[in-house]
Amino acid sequence: MIDKKIKNFTEPIKEELKIFQKQFSLSMKSRVGLVDLVAKYILRQKGKKIRPTLVLLSAKTVGEINESTYRAAILVELLHTATLIHDDVVDSAETRRGLLSINSVWKNKIAVLMGDYLLSRGLLLSVDNNDFDFLKVITNTVKRMSEGELLQIQKTRKLNNDEETYFKIISDKTASLLSTCTQVGALSVTQDQKVIEDFRNFGENLGIAFQIKDDILDFDGTSSIIGKPIGADLKEKKLTLPLIYAFQKASPSEVRHIKRLLKNELKSSEFKEIFSFIKSYNGLEYSISKAKEYASLALKNLESYSDSESKRALIDLVTFIIERKN
């Protein structure tokens, strides 16, 4: 169902996505045999291409897709792929998109170096074509993503995340890359600063709504869109918005009790107890309302732009993110 929905969003740019895929494959080539072998393996891991789709749809909503747009899409996909490879090393993940992860096949050292290689390929692509505006955006994104990840690790260890910090983390970890996609998409076809800022804000608000919804589904779904099993965040001791809100409403003794449970390996009965705790304080309802609030902001960012297939696809994507059940 998810793949079918995503296919609908890509319909206005299906031919452009084919061109992107060819250029993306070429961008990963290397004369070093091992690098080329790993690159070919990565290309077998079929992703949903949400990020290049956002670049292309944003560009097409306000202008004509050009070679600069394709380079922007390649840059963000190379960055995204590099971060996934590095994440798998950090998490000791064994699979990625139905295949063995790079670190499972070639071990950690090659996986880390391959992630570095992909990031450098993206940066060189921009430098070689004088896309310095893209570089400014993407380097800030890498900084934000790293800071967000480190802040989450710090808060996870201490179990002391609050709502303000939660939004800082998801803004930096998730929304920053989506806002980069929509910003560089617009930047590839216009120099109008208001348009570029509108699309940057659209991606930021979309990304925040996306992550809140994903965190809700960790408690109240069949599985999340990124394939996490239910309760995965709790197992990793991540405090997300439904639980943070419940903590704000609960008594200090209740909060201490739940945190004591989280510090140990959770049993099935303890998962259920935490879920009940969240529901009793309307943590899910509050989180849904916040996700809808950011989705509304994202739609507002697009209001002033002419109706088109591409714009409708972006609007449909916002609606899908809020309404999805898995």
Task: Give the Cα separation of 287 and 301 in Å (integer).
Answer: 21
Model confidence, pTM: 0.90
Q: In this structure, are residues 174 and 207 in contact, taking their beta carbons and an 8 Å threshold? A: yes
Domains and CATH numbers, the chain: 2-323 (1.10.600.10)
| 189-218: average pLDDT | 95
Q: How confident is the model at residue 225 (pLDDT cuts 50, 70, 90)?
A: very low
> In the numeric block, which tokens belong to residue 219?
């408690």
Rg of the Cα atoms in the chain: 20
Q: What is the mean pLDDT of the chain?
A: 89
Give percent of the chain above pLDDT 90.
66
Hey, how many other C-beta atoms are within 10 angstroms of the C-beta on 326?
12
